[in-house]
Amino acid sequence: MHTLTDRLAGRAAVVTGAGSGIGRATALRLAAEGAAVTALDVVPASLESLAAEAAADAAAYGGRVRTAPVDIADEGSVVEAVGAAVAAHGRLDALVNAAAIHYGDHTHATTLERWNRILTVNLTGTFLVTREALPALLESPHGGVVVNFSSTSAFFAHPYMAAYSASKGAIMSFTHALALEYADRGLRAVSVVPGGVETPITGQTPANLPADVDWDKFAKLMPVLGRGTFGGPDDVAGVVAMLVSDDGRYVTGTEIRIDGGTHM
């Protein structure tokens, strides 16, 4: 890990999808920079692993990682989890909505159940967590920050991902609306747009695609940095940490693409 500062000391953050991948890297990065972090995820075993990792390196994370379960597709679960996080920290300065699911289908074969499930988790879940966090974020003396996770699939053609792409494109629109609606109250809202990053979702993509997948359609979806190798979750987490800090104080209502030049 890079040498880190304490630029987030005294701040409190909530990170969803924190049990694995980019969400996990982000939760640890924010804690390493001094933030008190509530890490939320739907998988208890992933939260236990995260808590153990944070506890094992007290010098880096200083006991600043708190874990709690949440199902972001369930309104009651979100209300309880976010309320408990705010109560535990006594405040909230940053929210990072990293939780998401992904399935690949031929669009003509996509069931309504599958379509609704992806939009419910990715889009409605992002809305629910944001809604519950907003009152506390608007009270932040630093100016609250919402970082939402979109995807390069919202900008560029990713085959077999119509539902996922639609959910991520809608998250960008949602983020723009937030940024303007609450700008006069000091809130910033930004989307990060990962692509070409090795995560559990990307690792599971081949198994989630149709059996007759045409791999030639993925030929253009490779990073140009690192001779075509994927980036890692830490490559995104560092950008998120910048955005929620004062270093990102003039960034709102926009997207930051982190894809190693995949979509130049």
Largest CA distance in the chain: 53
Give the Å distances, CA to CA, from 100 to 10, 35, 186, 230: 28, 23, 27, 19
Cα–Cα nearest to 93, from 55, 141, 154, 128: 141
- CB contact at 8 A, 105 and 118: no
What is the separation of C-alpha 224 from the centre of its chain, rounded to a whole number of angstroms?
A: 23
Tokens of 117: 């499930």
Told to judge if 182 belongs to the known catalytic residues of this protein, a careful annotator would answer no
61, 160, 164, 182: the catalytic one is: 164
Q: 17-50: b or e for each residue (b if 16 or more CB lie within 10 Å)?
A: bbbbbbbbbbbbbbbbbbbbbbbbbbeeebbeeb
The DSSP H or E segment spanning 78 is helix 75-89
Which residues are the active-site residues? 164
